[in-house]
Structure 1
Amino acid sequence: MSALRYVTKLQGRRLLVLGGSSGIGFSVAEAALEHGADVIISSSNEARLRKAVDRLRTGIVNPAIPLGSGPGSENQSSGSGTLSEESPRISSVTCDLANAATLEKNIASALELATAGRTCLLDHVVFTAGAPLKIVKVPDATVQAVQDTNLVRVVAPIILAKLLPLYTHQSAASSLTLTSGVTTNRPTPGWALLVSAGAAVEGLARGLAVDLKPLRVNVVSPGAVHTELFADIPEERLQSVLDTFKTNSLTDTVGTPGELAEAYLYCMKNTFATGSVIVADGGRLLI
Structure 2
Amino acid sequence: MSIFFSDEAIASLIQEDVPYLDLTTYGLAIGKQLGEIEFSTRHPMTICATEEAARVLQYCGAEVHYQVESGTGCQEKQLILQASGTANALHSGWRVALNLMEYASGIASRTRALVDTVKTVNPAISIVTTRKCFPGTRAISIKAVLAGGGFFHRLGLSETVLIFNQHLIFLGGMVGLIERMNELRKKFPEQRICVEVETVADALMVAQSGVDLIQFDKISLSEIKPLVLKLKQQYPNLKLAAAGGITSENIKDYASSGVDILVTSSPYFGKPCDIAAKMTKTQ
**TM-score using structure 2 length:** 0.28
**Larger strand proportion, structure 1 or 2?**
2
Larger-gyration structure (1/2):
2
Which gives a bigger RCO, structure 1 or 2 (Cα 8 Å, sep 6+)? Answer: 2
**TM-score using structure 1 length:** 0.28
